[in-house]
Amino acid sequence: MKCVSGSLENRKKTLQPLAVRYVREVMGVCRRFETAQDDPSKLYPAWFWEAVIETFYFTGIRLNQLLHIKAKDVDLKRMILVTSFEGSKTYSESVVPIADGLYPYIAKLMLAAHRGGFKREDQLFNVNRFSRRHRRKEMDINQVEHFFKRLSGFCGTRVTPHRFRHTLGTDLMEDPDRNIRVTQMILDHSSMRTTMEYVHPSVDSMRKALNQRRCP
């Protein structure tokens, strides 16, 4: 029994679909409030933080990678964004596809950046350039962590960039048509062994495999 318990404890901490849905509902309420009242919500500016959340959800990039994305790194026509070696654990540049679900959020962010006079080398995900409250030159880890701490309080569950990353990895590896190499590339893993850590067959799936075993 201890072994089973231990294996469960070692699993990557992910966000359940209901938690993700609730995160989106909370952000939607904040965005609509800001639009209707022309006043900051508790998670201001909501539209910007929605873009941050959806980027983590759809790409699984690390927090440090997000902070190093510049305006020039996004190509909306080709629907890709480039993460630099500066924010990567593997010290390599990688091309990340912009999924259909993510596109509207990135397009809105890019439009706001254009209107804000962003230069090609400017940090793209920079709340300070879109907010009345924030005054730093660039967005840093503390600002992002502070936002997610507040978001977690509203959602009643711990929400972090890394949990979005683990959720994506788990979803990709639990897909019946999974491609381990593709998952490795998406998550920017240097080792296939790291990618395989996202494989967690359920007891039911293991029982099904045993029941389907041919008898001699």
- Please report, for residues 49, 90, 181, 211, the alpha-carbon distance to residue 132 in angstroms, rounded to integers and kept in the order given: 14, 36, 43, 61
- Please report, for residues 28, 62, 117, the alpha-carbon distance to residue 99 in angstroms, rounded to integers and kept in the order given: 20, 17, 26
Q: Are 162 and 177 in contact (CB under 8 A)?
A: no
E strands, the chain, in order: 74-75, 80-83, 94-97
Within a 10 A sphere around the Cβ of 97, how many other Cβ atoms? 13
Active site residues: 62, 89, 162, 165, 189, 198
Within a 10 A sphere around the Cβ of 52, how many other Cβ atoms? 21
